Structure 1
Amino acid sequence: MAYAQPFPLAQPLQKVAAPTFGPDLAVRLICPECRDPNPNIVEEFSSGDLVCGTCGLVLGDRIVDTRSEWRTFANDEGDDPSRVGAASDPLMDGMEQLDTNISFKDGGSGLAKELQRANHRAKGASAERNLLEAFRQISHWCETFSLPKTISDIAKQLYKRSDEEKLLRGKPLDAVIAACIFIACRQAHVPRTFREICNLTHVSKKTLGQCYKALEQAFNLTPGASQDTRHAHTPNATTGAEDLLVRYCNHLDLPVNVQPICADIIIKARELGIADGRSPVSIAGGAIYFTCCLLDKPKTVRQISEVAGVSEGTIKLVYRLYYAERVRLVKEEWIKDGKARLDRLPVESGSK
């Protein structure tokens, strides 16, 4: 071996062999009958043959069609870019790929009823049909509530997991779906209250709360896991009160400068322990009324009550708590800039 000695002897130089050239791999297909150097070879995908366009000799068979996978079903001539089906959904596990509907028209022979019965048995077990129906209902409710597709996907995934684990056996389907949508809104940080979900799905608050608590315990979906610690740890506290201001101020058609000032007032009140224990919806309604009076943007208690979905008395109660601590809640810079004036705040909590 070369490493057997410390200093191996130098080996004589070897002559470099001349490069060899291999055959030309650019094979040209020529018809053996025509012998034309410029052959007219046609690929007939309908029959899978490779045919000479001059003499018609079949040069090959079983040709693979490498074109796009769609077909043209249009009555007019031209390309039809319609696909053969929709994109597969990973949550469906292929259950939505094939679906056949049997017509009721059979000319009075009675075959349509038999075909429908056979098709119904071939569609699979009832669990798969229930899953498909639940997914359709989740998509419909999310579109009705103007929720993004992300929330719909999270709700579907949560429903499928709960269905596989049999967590809510015996509960109404509407209540289970409503709880999944509520949790999906929390996970995606899209503020929705219990009242809004109940009004959307027509599910009672008690039933929705039972399904919500069951899913929360099963999947460890504690409020602190998906929300900030500033939020109240109650089922109604889907998010902080300041997170509800954007929608409420938009529905009330308030100027853009009202929402940030109102959010600062809510945060300051939370630090001071004002209105602790109240629901975020009540705090948001009372804070909006307090801010509107402070900035001279008149909105009645009734208008705020209709948007927030709480009673006028609740809004007045929160306003009284804020009014008692108005000196500590209102920043001095707002008063110096002329944005806010404490004398605009009515002593009574009635509507202006």
Structure 2
Amino acid sequence: MIKSSWNGSSSTALASRSPTATLVSPLPVPPPASELPFHRNLNVHLICPDCREDPPHLVENFSDGDMVCESCGLVLGARIVDTRSEWRTFANDDQGSDDPSRVGEPVNPLLDGGQLGTTISFLSNNSSASRELNRAQNKSSQDKRDQHLHAAYAKISSMCDRYHLPRVVQDTAKDIYKKVEDHRALKGKSTESIEAAAIFIACRQANVARSFKEIGLLTSVPKKELGRVFKIIDAILQEGGQMGGAVSAVTAAESDYQSVGTSAEDLMNRFCSHLGLSSQVSSGAQLIARRVTKEGILAGRSPISIAAATIYMAAGLFGEAQSASKIAERAGVSDGTIKTSYKFLWEARDKLIDPQWLESGRASLAGLPKAQ
């Protein structure tokens, strides 16, 4: 291939020499930017054609929908669409029942449907016709399932507030309850047992573990019934694969559901706080519980029994001895269970007690209760 210039004579001569010669024209050179006429290109850059300030001082007049140059007052655009968010809600009492919100409340993912229904309220004259119209509209439009969900959510919130549980536990428990209701696998089970199991699982997910007995006392659901419902819900959530997270900042993004168990370390701080023990005893009991689990000394026993026996040992070791009956009252187990578990801890005390505690003088073996 022979490239030729754009001169006619030389191009003809070169083309005649070779039958396969091809004329290739160069790309056109654009004129300089200074010679181009002014045109408005909002996708690139918008400046005022009069004052030509760069950067421009442009303001949007939302009341008129105009784009105006602040320096010279030239109107650069008209009928501009206001793209600001309209998700505004104000109390009706502030502006004489004049609510400027034009979009309503956001969709609640915990309820069914799109929540786009219309509600007819009483008229100001409180006439019989308005009351009848309101009553007829309520009978025809209100969803009984949403009413049931509202009642369940209110009860979950009440129980969580009574037990001083964080807001994330409430939101997670409501989300779990909604998923279980959608699955329809717990027909015949009482609503109270489902709510209690949802709160129990939510506590585990939020790392504020509570025992079956504590949740049972809170909700008045028997421990055995709570355990049965918990196993069913846990299987449903594992089968579903994902827990929702559309209700709070902590649960806003969906995350894989994983069944979380309760360990003795999770219960230690709360039990020690209820007993008025120092942070030194709490941290020491956690270390002992970690070693108990690692060595398998109390394998097969419940986390509550392990936590109670460990606190019984750590409190005496650090000079803040507590009776077995007092610890049993706070932990929710019998003092006989604590003493039986403590026998195994006493026999393995050399593996559980950190030698640095004894060397520093913070702990003493003389304060340990005798195994009975």
Q: Same fold (TM over 0.5)?
A: yes
Q: More deviation in 238-247 or 303-312?
A: 303-312
Instruction: Give the aligned residue type for 1:8.
Output: K
2: CA distance between counterparts of 1:182 and 1:262? 24
The 5 Å alignment of 1:232-243 reads 238-243=261-266
| Aligned twin of 2:312 | 289
TM-score (norm: length of structure 1): 0.71
| Aligned twin of 1:315 | 338
1:226 is the counterpart of 2:259: yes
The 5 Å alignment of 1:30-49 reads none
Instruction: Give the aligned residue type for 1:21.
Output: P
SS at match of 1:220: helix
For this pair of structures, how many residues does the alignment match? 304
> Is the alpha carbon distance of 1:118 and 1:72 closer, same or farther for their aligned partners in structure 2, counting shifts above 3 Å?
closer
> Is the alpha carbon distance of 1:16 and 1:142 closer, same or farther for their aligned partners in structure 2, counting shifts above 3 Å?
closer
2: CA distance between counterparts of 1:83 and 1:289? 62
| Aligned twin of 1:89 | 108
Instruction: Please tell me whether the aligned partners of residues 281 and 308 of structure 1 are also in contact (alpha carbons under 8 angstroms).
Output: yes
Where do 5+ consecutive residues of structure 1 fail to align?
29-41, 49-61, 228-237
Q: 1:262 deviation in Å?
A: 0.8
Q: 1:263 deviation in Å?
A: 1.4
1:135-187 deviations in whole A, cap 9, x for unaligned? 22223323333333333333222222221221101211111111122222223
Q: 1:189 deviation in Å?
A: 2.9
Instruction: Please tell me whether the aligned partners of residues 266 and 287 of structure 1 are also in contact (alpha carbons under 8 angstroms).
Output: yes
Q: More deviation in 14-23 or 103-112?
A: 103-112
2: CA distance between counterparts of 1:296 and 1:43? 72
- Please give the root-mean-square deviation of Cα atoms over the aligned residues, in Å: 4.0
1: CA distance between counterparts of 2:120 and 2:335? 53
Instruction: Give the aligned residue type for 2:5.
Output: A
| Aligned twin of 2:5 | 10
Instruction: Please tell me whether the aligned partners of residues 290 and 319 of structure 1 are also in contact (alpha carbons under 8 angstroms).
Output: yes
SS at match of 2:6: coil
1: CA distance between counterparts of 2:29 and 2:338? 99
1:114-141 deviations in whole A, cap 9, x for unaligned? 63243133112x2222222222222332
> Is the alpha carbon distance of 1:85 and 1:105 closer, same or farther for their aligned partners in structure 2, counting shifts above 3 Å?
closer
Q: 1:285 deviation in Å?
A: 0.9
Q: 1:288 deviation in Å?
A: 0.4
Where do 5+ consecutive residues of structure 2 fail to align?
8-25, 42-47, 51-60, 66-78, 242-256
1:215 is the counterpart of 2:238: no
Q: 1:301 deviation in Å?
A: 2.3
Fraction of identical pairs, as percent: 34
Instruction: Please tell me whether the aligned partners of residues 70 and 82 of structure 1 are also in contact (alpha carbons under 8 angstroms).
Output: yes
> Is the alpha carbon distance of 1:95 and 1:206 closer, same or farther for their aligned partners in structure 2, counting shifts above 3 Å?
farther
TM-score (norm: length of structure 2): 0.67
> Is the alpha carbon distance of 1:84 and 1:147 closer, same or farther for their aligned partners in structure 2, counting shifts above 3 Å?
farther
Q: 1:99 deviation in Å?
A: 7.9
Instruction: Please tell me whether the aligned partners of residues 274 and 330 of structure 2 are also in contact (alpha carbons under 8 angstroms).
Output: yes
| Aligned twin of 1:21 | 37
| Aligned twin of 1:232 | none
